[in-house]
Amino acid sequence: MAARQCCSHMSKVTFISAGKDEVSVVGIAGASIMQLATANGVPGIDAECGGSMSCATCHVYIEGAWLEAVGEPGEGEKVMLAFAEKPAHNSRLSCQILYTEVLNGITVHIPESQ
Ligand code: FES
C-alpha cells in the first residue's frame, strides 16, 4: 500500500521541522520512520544511504513522551549519531525505527541543519 497524507482515525506519524511546519503521514507497520518520511516527501529527511545506517541524514529528535516507546539506539546507531549535527539525548536515526502500532501518534522533530 502506498503511503499517503492521513486523516485523524488512521495511525500516523507527525514530523515537525525546525521552522515548526508540521506534516502527518500514515504509519505503515514494518516501514521505518525514514521510509514513511521519504515516501511522503517530508522535507529534511534526505536518507542518502537508503537506510543502511551510514549517513545520519535521517537524524530526528524524538518528542519526549515517545522516547520510551522508541527505545534506546543500538550500538551502531550510537556511533553514527555521533556524526550527526547537534546530537541530543533524544536523537535517533529514523531509518532504524520501525513503525508499529505502539508508535501510533508519534511526533519527531527534524534538526535545523537538515
Ligand atoms: S538513512 Fe542513512 S543513516 Fe539513516
Domain ranges of the chain: 12-109
Rounded to the nearest integer, the mean pLDDT of the chain is: 93
- 12-16 sheet: strands from edge to edge: 22-26, 12-16, 107-109, 59-62, 91-93
**Residue to substitute in 33, 46, 57 for testing ligand 1 pocket (most ligand atoms within 8 angstroms of CB):** 57
Please write the tens of the pLDDT for every residue from 60-78: 999 999 999 999 999 999 9
**53 C-beta closer than 6 A to ligand 1:** yes
Tell the residue nearest (CA) to atom 3 of ligand 1: 53
Distance between CA atoms of residues 43 and 27, nearest Å: 17
Section 71-86 average pLDDT: 96
Helix, strand, or coil here: 24?
strand
Contact of 55 with 95, CB cutoff 8 Å: no
pLDDT digit string, tens, across residues 19-31: 999 999 999 999 9
- Give Cα 36 to chain centroid, integer Å: 8
According to the model, what pLDDT value does residue 10 have? 81
Pocket test for ligand 1, best of 32, 42, 52 (most atoms within 8 A of CB): 52
- Residue with grid cell 508519534, as numbered in its chain: 106
What CATH number is given for 12-109 in this structure? Answer: 3.10.20.30
HSE of 33 in the Cβ direction (CA atoms, 13 Å)? 30
Residue 87 has pLDDT above 70, yes or no: yes
Ligand 1 in reach of 60 Cβ (< 6 A): no
Spatial contact of 63 and 57, defined as CB atoms under 8 Å apart: no
**Residue 91: what residue type?**
S
pTM, two decimal places: 0.91
Lowest mean pLDDT among 6-10, 53-57, 84-88, 109-113: 6-10
Q: Are the C-beta atoms of residues 83 and 56 closer than 8 Å to each other?
A: yes
